[in-house]
Amino acid sequence: MKHAAACKSVDESQFLRDAEPVLAADMLEGADQIAAFMGLSARQVYHLQGRLPVFSIGAKLFARKSTIVHWIAEQEAKATGATI
């Protein structure tokens, strides 16, 4: 049983190492990057912070590109009455 637990932790740690570049490529760091991705100004990002799918770590804002794209699709679906 000990061996199975050791294999599992190795597999999980390998998964995390493999996922790091993917996660990093999907991450937007700071209002400027989020704004550039969305076609907004940094000021608009801060103003819409409660409605946009962003999160903060300390004083810095972060967002995932994939989450923003999905959120935009949801907003479009709501506006047109379509389903995702």
Q: What is the pLDDT of residues 28-81, one digit of tens each?
A: 999 999 999 999 999 999 999 999 999 999 999 999 999 999 999 999 999 998
- Residue 74's alpha-carbon distances to 10, 24, 29, 45, 47, in angstroms, are 37, 24, 23, 18, 20
CB-CB contact of 30 with 45 (8 Å): no
Residue 25 Cα distances to 30, 43, 66, angstroms: 14, 24, 10
Q: Domain 26-80, what fold?
A: Arc Repressor Mutant, subunit A (1.10.10)
Identity of residue 28: L
pLDDT of residue 82: 76
- Write down the pLDDT at residue 27: 96
pLDDT at 15: 63
In this predicted structure, what is the pLDDT of residue 22?
74
Residue 23: per-residue pLDDT: 76
pLDDT at residue 55 in the model: 96
